[in-house]
Copies of this chain bind each other. A is one copy, B any other.
């Protein structure tokens, strides 16, 4: 026996009133007697009524579902951003529909399509690494769906952008290496068409220039953000170029460098000082512990959600850029004495 789902009509029939009144009572509308509202609420609870948000959204044209599109759900950074978004959106009465792109633009396009079909009120997105064109944002913009970008963002699309202070993090990190005596500092960079990696490179460059150190292109390793790339870079660049410091745009490539350097018996931090980016959990667990730039993913999620809620109340998108502060965490991979 299938228990049919309870509708407002069922409640109305049960009480001898009309569905309209039930609807108003449930919605907390003022134009309904207090005692009838309470009776409706009672009967609804007793009958196990669950409002059908599909019908409600269809009729009202409003939706309380927010779409979220990320490269990968199971990456430490993104899972924490998602958690931060959820922490703000859920208490505010919104639900999250999540898609991952696996770093493929094609999947990003599909994800948008799915979210549009589901009539989400807004979309919170961090681009796939492949994404360099933005025509697929057209429909989102045309339909005036609120759009918030975070971390991997572009100015070519309107709406708030929540980003880490990548430039400052890179600047502080490189300055820290310089202060500790490094002169030939390599940079493990990412894909430079992605804003975050471009800005980290800029911060690195600026720090060197300020210190009167020439920027040597031979010391900049592109697309070096995974562990294996860090390992290879040690053999191809760090050793032959007699590098004494590494600012890595990723903790993983920093880890790769540490492992290979240890194998080669090159002392860290005595011979080479290293700092990474992201402060992954393993940074404080490896030997030596890894200096890194902490980015507050949870807070970034909170802010993205707050910006989304704000956008939902406005007519036109505000294309502001909001910076989440970063913090350099000094550990043994870059500091000689035992002061830390």
Interfacial residues, chain A to chain B (CB-CB below 8 A): 2-3, 5, 48, 50-55, 57-58, 63, 65, 72-76, 79-80, 82-83, 86, 90, 95-100, 113-114, 116-119, 139, 142-144, 255, 281-282, 285-287, 298
Contacts and interface: CB of A to CB of B under 8 A. Distances in A.
A117 B50 contact: yes
13 contacts: A48-B139, A50-B139, A54-B54, A54-B119, A65-B118, A73-B86, A74-B76, A76-B76, A83-B100, A95-B114, A96-B97, A255-B285, A281-B281
Most B-side CB within 10 Å, residue of A52, A57, A118, A144: A118
A54 B57 contact: yes
Contacts of A57: 54
B53 A117 contact: yes
Contact of A142 (B3, B53, B285, B286): B3
Contacts of A51: 117
A90 B281 CA distance: 30
Contacts of A119: 52-54
Contact of A282 (B53, B95, B281): B281
A29 to B, nearest CB: 19
Contacts of A5: 143
A50 B110 CA distance: 12
